[in-house]
Chain A
């Protein structure tokens, strides 16, 4: 899956991506908030990379910076081997799209469904006649399981799941090869989540799109992803094949994250041995030296405080950033 001859194989390649936000910490004083601090990964065509982590770990920022919704502080993004930059970004907006977390705020309340899905078509002038536009929109709507008669309705009349379908149809309108899915199911009801997860899987089968699937729900991520990457405070701590990561986690953070997931099964839950992490995530404005996780890690040593561990391959593409493990 993760072959070394990068340029040819991978669809999206991210190299040492950095995103710092200036935060005013006092009068005339700003501190850099390192939301994403050197993240690299690759995604192959038709593949799903799951990205998990706790809130504030920078996973959403990775998605948004990758699509240049924020101007990256450093690092490079390649699509099909070509570097994406400010100048050619508009072209790449047709190839890389995004589905947002909140199906309520990510759709303009004053627009009809038709106009929301049609907006990418309007922007990139992807039709020659009104009829063609309408046909494309109706085609997209049926693709995501929406009724054609809903085209002229406004979004507030739809439920969360239906709204998320509208958001997905909008992302698919330009026929992208890659979609960043930023927590697309976490705002949905449990009974609706499966519908949307299944739809993502079906669309991948049908259209061959690749996903960067950002979420905090490990079970959902495990279900949908081929590979999973775990982030902690702006850096990646572990990345591996989905089953490999779930069955043989190496990084102590991944271990505790996995053990903290509440399993929907009373017997397992009773038997489950949890590794309860002490304390809270440190403020990203005041990061610990060396490994960011060391303040909560029970294996932490002096070396962890001194130096940031490198992200190294432990065989079969199982990447880990830890000195001890």
Chain B
């Protein structure tokens, strides 16, 4: 190509060859340049993670389901005029005819009563059970029990696991070796068997206690907590130890050492905060497994004591009338599935949003 081409033809090819707008070729001020070099908006790790979590439809759906369930179990007992252990009363009298009602139906006595007084009775949303109790309120209380067992057990696991794991991981060497072998031994025990054995033993010892807190909770509940605390922390401890070993090799830990920070300070302000997301995610995933175990134990009759319902014992009770009243099994079972699924999906969502390994 010729070099003088641009001066001859095609003005669009050389828009500036003839008439340069000199003003535009003045030096740009620092101000103008600075505007080009803006830092992106400040986001914290948490904000960024939350934004990602909110983009995940499954996680958002799980959060909604869980919030609804929690709101229901908090407020339903205030609204529903039935008790979980009481036979339905009509006009102050026990209504023995309200047995195994289908959802949203009334017993003969109730219908009579409503016709007499013109008063509208609160519907039996899930019908009633074989002992004339409102089933909805029983499921609500059962969910309360199951959820609180799950939460409390997970917190227990969290505390023990994090303490044990961080000591083992940070100390290293011989201490780590011994502590991890203990974990291995506990890990190798058949956990279902131990749970059943422990709950039998604990039930008996705790039965004689005068402690009011234990009494009000029921000895079975307390023994379930203890069993979870004793057995399920090992997974968390292993995980925390692994994370800490990884963190220990990070240069910022070395940097903190070079600055003169003590071991306690390093664990507290550097290592634990950086493991936090993994710990929270694991805890979120621990809750459904605890709920599951609790339901299982109640189902086989080792869980909470009657008349206190739990989702597992409700399902167990429904077994007898399964042929005639399958819905009595469906309600607690579906609730268990919903809770467990929601927690699992939420845990997955949290991991996708917060786990540093998966971040781009």
Q: Which residues of A approach B to under 8 Å, CB–CB?
A: 64, 67, 69, 90, 93-94, 97-98, 100-102, 105-111, 119-120, 123-124, 150, 152-154, 156-157, 167, 170, 174
Contacts and interface: CB of A to CB of B under 8 A. Distances in A.
Given A102-B251, A109-B356, A174-B259, 13 more contacts: A67-B258, A93-B258, A100-B255, A107-B252, A108-B256, A108-B270, A110-B274, A119-B256, A119-B259, A123-B262, A123-B265, A152-B42, A154-B44
A110 B250 contact: no
Query: Which DSSP category, helix, strand, loop or mixed, fits chain B's interface?
Result: helix
B258 A123 contact: no
A69 B258 contact: yes
The size class of the interface chain B forms with chain A is: 20 to 34
Given A105-B250, A123-B265, A110 B255 contact: no
Interface in B250-278: 250-252, 254-262, 265, 269-270, 273-274, 276
Contacts of B258: 67, 69, 93, 97-98
Interface string B44-62: 1100000000000000000
A167 B254 CA distance: 12
14 contacts: A64-B254, A69-B258, A93-B259, A94-B260, A105-B250, A105-B251, A106-B252, A108-B269, A109-B252, A109-B356, A110-B45, A123-B260, A154-B42, A157-B42
A98 B255 contact: yes
Contacts of A108: 252, 256, 269-270, 273-274
B39 interface: yes
Q: Give the most central of A67, A110, A150: most B CB within 10 Å.
A: A110
B36 interface: no
B40 A110 contact: no
Contacts of A102: 251
B260 A120 contact: yes
Given A94-B260, A119-B261, A123-B259, A109 B274 contact: yes
B357 to A, nearest CB: 13
B254 A69 contact: yes
A153 B42 contact: yes
Nearest to B257: A69
Given A69-B257, A90-B260, A120-B260, A105 B252 contact: yes
Interface in B305-358: 356
Contacts of B250: 105
Contacts of A174: 259
A124 B273 CA distance: 22
A170 B255 contact: yes
Contacts of A69: 254, 257-258
Interface in B1-50: 39-40, 42-45
Nearest to B359: A156
Q: Give the most central of B39, B258, B260: most A CB within 10 Å.
A: B258
B264 to A, nearest CB: 11
Given A109-B45, A157-B42, A170 B259 contact: yes
Q: Give the most central of A94, A100, A101, A150: most B CB within 10 Å.
A: A100
Contacts of B39: 150, 153, 157
Contact of A100 (B42, B254, B262, B276): B254
A108 B39 CA distance: 20
A74 to B, nearest CB: 21
Nearest to B247: A108
Contacts of A154: 42, 44-45
